Structure 1
Amino acid sequence: MNKGIEIQDLYELRAVSDPRLSPSGDEAVYVKTYMCEEKNEYFSTLHSIRLQDKTTRQWTFGEQKISTPRWSPDGRKIAFVSNRSGVNQLYLFHRDGGEAEQLTDYQKGVSNPVWSPCGEKISVSLRLEKGETFETKEGEEEKLKPYVATGMKYKSDDRGFDDNCYSQIAVVDVASKKIRRVTDDVHDYTLHSWSPDGQHIAFSVDRTEDKDFSFQSDLYIFNLEMNEYKKVNKETGYYGGAAWSPDGKHLAYMGHGREYENATHNKVWLHHIETGHSICLTEGMDLPIGDYLNSDSIQGSSQTGILWSNDYESFYFLASDAGNTVLYYAHIDGAIYPALLQEEQHIYGFDFDSTRQVMLIAMSKPTEPGELYTLHVPSGELTEITSLNGELLGNRELSSPQSFMYTGAKDWPVQGWIMKPVGYEEGKKYPLIVEIHGGPHTMYGNTFFHEFQVLASKGYAVLYVNPRGSHGYGQEFVDAVRGDYGGGDYEDIMAAVEYALEEFPFIDETRLGVTGGSYGGFMTNWIIGHSDKFKAAATQRSISNWISFYGVSDIGYYFSEWQIQSDLGDIETLWKRSPLAYVKNMNTPLLILHSEKDYRCPIEQAEQLFIALKREKKDVRFVRFPESNHNLSRTGKPSLREARLQEIVDWFGEHL
């Protein structure tokens, strides 16, 4: 019998991302990413595949990171971003072969290349100070100096401390390599697309002066020759992901008006260029547009926006639905339906050949990391065209999750999954580990999760559910957690445990463990402060004290007001919802895992919990991960991801 998935298999897994069809439709490019144990780093390579015979070709080699490959309109060249020079720069490959040509040499790097329709220019995003030129070079290394913050959003988990630079848009002339700055101010621009006539671009930006209390992103159409802006959305909210119809008459985009703050469903909108009128096409879907499915095995970026058909009247997009990420078809007259019907699917990237009616899909399943598929749209025929992980999976036994529905708080239906341990034997009893996702506005579902498979291979049953607050089950369901942290969501999770104990007799009720990260870490802390049901717990990147979180998190002051619906003027409510308030009730042995450069849920949250538990002489272990942020479990240094999983396995092995 084959062994199950191991921690070390992190280095064997291959992730496929950003599939892009050539204009002719007979070939595709994609990025393959892997973790190098020796270098303790992520590397990626650019590949192409012929759809007819599945023959592949590797375009790039060496230790570098590749992203965002984009075919030129004539299909003769491929633009992509690489850090081979030490910083992300724009490169150009000629399809006929030869070395990649470097198009940019900006010291801070570039990203997000978008070809102009004529194929002579490429727009890019880059971070600049106001008035900074592309010729500006870094001077000698400066001495240490104090950092001065004047705004409330002075740090972020992904970038660290604010550097007074702003995301701007520039256009690169492919022939001359000259670069022209399109925007130059103190706002962050997100580039989306060019108009078919090449005279306009669509981008999003928050032009509000008071950024501390501005939470919006407006969509604009910008005339490149006249330097004129035209705002698309009439409502205040978050809008972006814009794509032009091939005839230039419509602009489809995504967004919402913040009716439920960050719990609001993303929707699809259609803007008529001539009349300036916009309508919402997905008002009746009651599903969030986009991919909200949690995974620890997806690397790189992929197309998750809107893709038009060349009939000028229809397009495709993704939506998150009850544990699946589903590809949908939409017509400008309002017709919407799934383009692919499967019980288990996590589509996280796609491209479309409208002429041949063939969709190229990057898709993961519970027992399969992401691979590329072609979908013949008229017939629904789905064909797998890559097998990047086939050899590894052929030598491993995997656990297949079983989905179930149960009754949660207020008699609402809630979805969960149970995984049997690898090597399961009828009649034996097994320990159970409950996994709780972060967000809370994300979802678990039908995708490959390395961590879950590792636990199953170690002899654990694994239970994971989507409690209220999760995406994929309607606007009321996802909004229900706001103002009720530790209420109905806690009841949903505990009800899942009771259901599992009743329905799955192989679970040993005396050996239960619980773990989760971010919001899942908060809930882990909350659970052991309100129940002694679990024999061991592991809390990761967690929240323990909403009072201090308000001021130390990069999102603290507004996230607390949106989610807990309280601020520093109401300390009583913040403390009532804080797991730290119940530390005397925590009798479950607890493993605390936290990254030292986590600015989302800063490490002081873990420090407070650790000291409070030690003061009460409780069984607790505190592990700090250096040079790591909130995304350690997904994009952290490979050696630290390995160490994190080993800590979890060892802790539950000792206590269960």
Structure 2
Amino acid sequence: MTRSISPDDLYDLRLPSDPQVSPDGERVAYVLTGADRAGDRTTGEVWEVRVAGGAPRRLTEGPADAAPRWSPDGVTLAFLRDGALYTLPADGGEPTRLAGEGARSPVWSPDGTRIAFVAPAGEFDRTAPVVIDRLDYKADGAGRTGPVRAHLFVADVKTGEVVQVTAGDYHVAFPVWSPYGARLAFAAAIGERADLSTANGLYVVEVADAGAGRTAEPRLVGSATGIAMPCAWYADGSALLVVGRATADIGILRLMRQPLAGGPAEVLTAGLDRNVMYGLPGYPGAVPRFAGADVLFAARDRGVSRLYRLSGGTAEQIPQTAAFGVSGLSVAPASGRAVTVVADRARFGEIAAVGPADEVTVLTDHQARSLPDVELIACTERDFVISDGTPVHGLIIRDPSAPPGGPLLLDVHGGPHNAWASHADAIHVYHQTLAARGWTILALNVRGSDGYGEDFYRAVVGGWGEHDERDFLEPVAALVAEGLVDGERVAVTGYSYGGYMACWLSARTGTFTAVAAGGVVSDLLSLSGTSDEGEALGTLEIGGGRDRLVELSPLTYVDGVRAPTLILHGDADETCPVGQAEQWFHALRARSVRTRLVLYPGSSHLFILNGRPSHRVDYNQRVADWVTRHTNEPEE
């Protein structure tokens, strides 16, 4: 006997991530994420599974372990615990604390004697006055960072000695060792006005130049006016494999080869009109890896991050993996084997191996073990053609046994350059809850969505709401006209950009009987001056100055809102600051619109992905309950 998933099941669900294959290709270490109900915290443990088969086993006790990394000889695992760097014998034993406070991105040197990592350099007295000269004084999830910058450190595995390698008014990211361990490459935005741009450069330091109180001087490789994330060195040390683009405007990222001698980077995926996904929270992907002479990487196609191979100058999707979305990637070159996390319409994500012939073997079954009686309702795909001829890809989630004419929930993704994927979704569990109640869920990848080429990706730039409004309303009208749903019972929800659009659509049309807006943007003018991404949002995404920001703000049209509106927001959100939600709530309340504001204490913008379990459960339950109540009990 099976049942549908409920928000409360998020406490029991266990999900694997960050798979790392051993150098011999026989073992996979990964992080298993769960929830501690009593402690109301997200947990992480390092687990291992054998490629040859057998039950996974736990290697660490948690509760906050992450980023397992094999030593080059496969004898030791490095990992992070509560922001400190540890090592662990791969065949069992007690972990040893090596270094770090707030450490991240650990990477072994090729000879296995050192581990490089990124960590804050210095301390920030949060009781002292904060003196601010630049825009990068805060970040979502970290709050105000003051003068502290993230820099590069190297720890000696045998002695425990830690050397700070870089220093200065910039942040280091994506460290990568050179083939012989003499250099480290990294990404950084360095310069007096670097905080006013999304551009960053690719830098290289000589590790031996640091020590005895000295730090190394980074050398710029290539241009600092584009975007570059280093992924790996070419075997001869002459170039770096990079994800990026030549300019720092809005657009898709490519796979590139950057010569160490300088000059422009060579674009390796020029013939692939898809965004290379290196992986961020909420944006599944994988850091590209060499597999012999080929490169394995993830790119987004029709909303799904899929596995691709670059071989002989041609980039193509790997056919055997076409049924899956992927996140995370590790390669054991000696065996020709890769590992990743795969998701499909029945699974949120499991560890899988991709063999030398590209055969896929799923190695774990954590979802079935943690929720053995749950069966998910799969989505179906449908393409809509908008009145100007633009095709819009949609996903529909509904119980096949539900009668037609039921309520509809339109859900808007964030970004705006994110996308809905056709595989199972562990973040928006309310989709499953409502579908089990007879609802139809409509998730649309409208203009601006990722996975449909660069022109489509950029189609919403400068025209939020204006350019994509009909992409939402016309598919809704089509489903109503067909009789699949009841046009008098249509609700809208969304988070981040989706929260913006939920406010925008409810203000500009009478289509919706209920609204649940999360992580909202209501006033683009104030957002551009208060968000940790405000400069990029105001300048690159919208442009046109003050008048255009006002023209595209939902607050400008708030007099048109009639539908009962639930507003959900993290009160420590630095990307869409909580004032955005408070302004919308105040405006609705002052106009006698039924409204409720729910604030989640201490929660950042990404809390619906990785926040407190109780907050994630509450968010999902509130969305389902609000739209159910107000579609069945419409306002008089």
TM-score, normalising length from structure 1?
A: 0.90
Find the counterpart in structure 1 of residue 257 from structure 2.
270
Question: What is the rounded CA distance, in whole Å, between the counterparts of 1:347 and 1:581 in structure 2?
Answer: 40
Question: What is the rounded CA distance, in whole Å, between the counterparts of 2:278 and 2:172 in structure 1?
Answer: 22
Question: What is the rounded CA distance, in whole Å, between the counterparts of 2:126 and 2:25 in structure 1?
Answer: 54
The offset of 1:224, in angstroms, is: 2.3
Which residue type is aligned with residue 170 of structure 1? F
Find the counterpart in structure 2 of residue 23 from structure 1.
23
Which residue type is aligned with residue 9 of structure 1? D
Q: Is 1:208 the counterpart of 2:191 in the alignment? A: yes
**Measured at CA, do residues 491 and 356 of structure 1 come closer, stay the same or move farther in structure 2, by a change above 3 Å?**
same
Q: Is the 8 A contact 2:408 2:489 kept in 1?
A: yes
- Segment of structure 1 superposing worse, 610-619 or 3-12: 610-619
Q: Which runs of 5+ in 1 are unaligned?
A: 133-137
Alignment map for 1:586-625 (pairs within 5 Å): 586-625=561-600
Q: Is 1:500 the counterpart of 2:479 in the alignment? A: yes
Find the counterpart in structure 1 of residue 634 from structure 2.
none
Which residue type is aligned with residue 608 of structure 1? Q
Which residue type is aligned with residue 508 of structure 2? H
**Measured at CA, do residues 230 and 641 of structure 1 come closer, stay the same or move farther in structure 2, by a change above 3 Å?**
same
Which residue, out of 362, 365, 374, partners 2:341?
A: 362
Alignment map for 1:244-263 (pairs within 5 Å): 244-258=233-247, 261=249, 263=250
3-state SS, counterpart of residue 403 of structure 1? strand
Q: Is 1:644 the counterpart of 2:623 in the alignment? A: no
Residue deviations 1:398-450 (CA, integer Å, cap 9, x gap): 211001111125311110100113xx436453211111011101111123223
Which residue type is aligned with residue 139 of structure 2? S
3-state SS, counterpart of residue 389 of structure 1? helix
3-state SS, counterpart of residue 599 of structure 2? strand
Alignment map for 1:536-555 (pairs within 5 Å): 536-555=514-533
Question: What is the rounded CA distance, in whole Å, between the counterparts of 1:277 and 1:619 in structure 2?
Answer: 56
Q: Is 1:578 the counterpart of 2:553 in the alignment? A: yes
Find the counterpart in structure 1 of residue 110 from structure 2.
117
Question: What is the rounded CA distance, in whole Å, between the counterparts of 2:108 and 2:41 in structure 1?
Answer: 30
Question: What is the rounded CA distance, in whole Å, between the counterparts of 1:96 and 1:643 in structure 2?
Answer: 40
3-state SS, counterpart of residue 606 of structure 1? helix
Question: What is the rounded CA distance, in whole Å, between the counterparts of 2:404 and 2:287 in structure 1?
Answer: 47
**Measured at CA, do residues 388 and 641 of structure 1 come closer, stay the same or move farther in structure 2, by a change above 3 Å?**
same
Alignment map for 1:148-297 (pairs within 5 Å): 148-225=131-208, 227=216, 229-234=218-223, 236-258=225-247, 261=249, 263-273=250-260, 278-290=265-277
**Measured at CA, do residues 558 and 252 of structure 1 come closer, stay the same or move farther in structure 2, by a change above 3 Å?**
closer
**Measured at CA, do residues 293 and 426 of structure 1 come closer, stay the same or move farther in structure 2, by a change above 3 Å?**
farther
Residue deviations 1:129-179 (CA, integer Å, cap 9, x gap): 3xx8xxxxx9xxx79443332223322212111231111111111111001
**Measured at CA, do residues 342 and 23 of structure 1 come closer, stay the same or move farther in structure 2, by a change above 3 Å?**
closer
**Measured at CA, do residues 200 and 276 of structure 1 come closer, stay the same or move farther in structure 2, by a change above 3 Å?**
farther
Q: Is 1:348 the counterpart of 2:335 in the alignment? A: no
3-state SS, counterpart of residue 526 of structure 2? helix
Which residue, out of 542, 550, 574, partners 1:564?
A: 542
Which residue type is aligned with residue 466 of structure 2? G
Q: Is the 8 A contact 2:242 2:257 kept in 1?
A: yes
Which residue type is aligned with residue 15 of structure 2? A
Which residue, out of 432, 440, 456, partners 2:408?
A: 432
The offset of 1:485, in angstroms, is: 1.3
The offset of 1:275, in angstroms, is: 7.9
Question: What is the rounded CA distance, in whole Å, between the counterparts of 2:126 and 2:190 in structure 1?
Answer: 34
Alignment map for 1:326-475 (pairs within 5 Å): 326-331=306-311, 333-378=312-357, 380-408=358-386, 410-421=388-399, 424-425=400-401, 427-450=403-426, 451=429, 452-475=431-454
Find the counterpart in structure 2 of residue 304 from structure 1.
286
Find the counterpart in structure 2 of residue 510 from structure 1.
488
Q: Is the 8 A contact 2:569 2:598 kept in 1?
A: yes
Find the counterpart in structure 1 of residue 507 from structure 2.
529
Identity level (%): 30
Alignment map for 1:33-112 (pairs within 5 Å): 33-61=33-61, 63-83=62-82, 88-104=83-99, 106=100, 108-112=101-105
The offset of 1:622, in angstroms, is: 1.6
Question: What is the rounded CA distance, in whole Å, between the counterparts of 1:430 and 1:342 in structure 2?
Answer: 36
Question: What is the rounded CA distance, in whole Å, between the counterparts of 1:526 and 1:365 in structure 2?
Answer: 32
Which residue type is aligned with residue 209 of structure 1? E
Question: What is the rounded CA distance, in whole Å, between the counterparts of 1:596 and 1:265 in structure 2?
Answer: 31
Question: What is the rounded CA distance, in whole Å, between the counterparts of 1:613 and 1:2 in structure 2?
Answer: 42
Residue deviations 1:516-575 (CA, integer Å, cap 9, x gap): 0111111111111111111111111111112222222222233112122133xx3x3222
Question: What is the rounded CA distance, in whole Å, between the counterparts of 1:124 and 1:91 in structure 2?
Answer: 12
The offset of 1:604, in angstroms, is: 1.4
The offset of 1:341, in angstroms, is: 4.3
Q: Is the 8 A contact 1:293 1:325 kept in 2?
A: no
Q: Is the 8 A contact 2:196 2:535 kept in 1?
A: no
Residue deviations 1:288-331 (CA, integer Å, cap 9, x gap): 100679859x8xxxx71121123xx3211111111221111113
Q: Is the 8 A contact 1:414 1:465 kept in 2?
A: yes
3-state SS, counterpart of residue 103 of structure 1? strand
Which residue type is aligned with residue 66 of structure 1? D
Find the counterpart in structure 2 of residue 135 from structure 1.
none
**Measured at CA, do residues 95 and 294 of structure 1 come closer, stay the same or move farther in structure 2, by a change above 3 Å?**
closer
Q: Which runs of 5+ in 2 are unaligned?
A: 210-215, 632-636
The offset of 1:335, in angstroms, is: 2.0
**Measured at CA, do residues 96 and 593 of structure 1 come closer, stay the same or move farther in structure 2, by a change above 3 Å?**
closer
Residue deviations 1:321-374 (CA, integer Å, cap 9, x gap): 11221111113x412212244554210112223333222121112321110111
Which residue type is aligned with residue 347 of structure 1? V
Find the counterpart in structure 1 of residue 606 from structure 2.
631
Which residue type is aligned with residue 10 of structure 2? L
Q: Is the 8 A contact 1:171 1:182 kept in 2?
A: yes
- Number of residues of Structure 1 aligned to a counterpart in Structure 2: 622
Question: What is the rounded CA distance, in whole Å, between the counterparts of 1:619 and 1:361 in structure 2?
Answer: 46
- Segment of structure 1 superposing worse, 546-555 or 116-125: 546-555
- Segment of structure 1 superposing worse, 583-592 or 334-343: 334-343
**Measured at CA, do residues 153 and 15 of structure 1 come closer, stay the same or move farther in structure 2, by a change above 3 Å?**
same
3-state SS, counterpart of residue 236 of structure 1? coil
Q: Is 1:147 the counterpart of 2:146 in the alignment? A: no
The offset of 1:127, in angstroms, is: 0.6
Q: Is the 8 A contact 2:288 2:295 kept in 1?
A: yes
- Segment of structure 1 superposing worse, 72-81 or 390-399: 390-399
